[in-house]
Structure 1
Amino acid sequence: MHSPEEGAQFQKGEILVTSQTDIAWTPLFPRAGAIVTDVGAPLSHAAIVARELGIPAVVGCGNATMRLQTGDRVLVDGGQGVVMIL
């Protein structure tokens, strides 16, 4: 997903994968099963909102948007900082 406007097709439980988030992405977070971003740190928007909502998140992956495709089955372990394609 490249922009929050594309979120109309984003289904509950899907993993939100994007380069980074800002306040415009916030309405999609409650539908997300997990959040994965290329850019980010513990105090980034994605990390903070995910913690507030209790959603697993791995931020600062570097290349998640290049490696993950729509339809991939993915395991996200926010506690360990691991994103694994199944």
Structure 2
Amino acid sequence: MTGRARIVHEPGRARVEPGEILVVATTDPGWTPLFLTAAALVTETGAIMAHGPTVAREYGMPAVISVPGATRLITDGQVVTVDGAAGTVTTAL
């Protein structure tokens, strides 16, 4: 899935447009509404049964977890490609 990255630190103040890639440090149930419009998920932490990847699977969206520094290395609005099957996140040049 390719789209513009949306870096989010606080779910209650966030706005994610349809097709954007949600890039976060971690998630919990308070983040769930953002999954309704996001196209994919990238998290800095997590495990296969953690909240973020579990909800992503339920919504059929690709997710890559445990990407150290993702919210710092990816720029808000940057075009990224998330390949959940390969576990990769690539940025456009």
**What band does the TM-score fall into relative to the shorter chain?**
over 0.9
Give the Å deviation of 1:6.
Answer: 2.4
Larger relative helix fraction: 1
Counting matched residue pairs gives 85
Distance in structure 1 (CA, Å) of the matches to 2:12 and 2:40: 18
Unaligned runs of 5+ in 2: 1-7
Three-state SS of the structure 1 residue aligned to 2:67 is coil
Same amino acid, percent of matched pairs: 45
Say if 2:12 is the partner of 1:12.
no
Give the CA RMSD over aligned residues.
0.8
Three-state SS of the structure 2 residue aligned to 1:52 is helix
Say if 2:12 is the partner of 1:35.
no
**TM-score under structure 1 normalisation?**
0.95
Unaligned runs of 5+ in 1: none
- The 4+ residue runs of structure 1 with deviation greater than 2 A are none
Q: RCO (CA 8 Å, sep 6+): is it higher in 1 or 2?
A: 2
Partner of 1:22: 28
Three-state SS of the structure 1 residue aligned to 2:13 is helix
Equivalent residue letter for 2:44: D
Larger relative strand fraction: 2
**TM-score under structure 2 normalisation?**
0.88
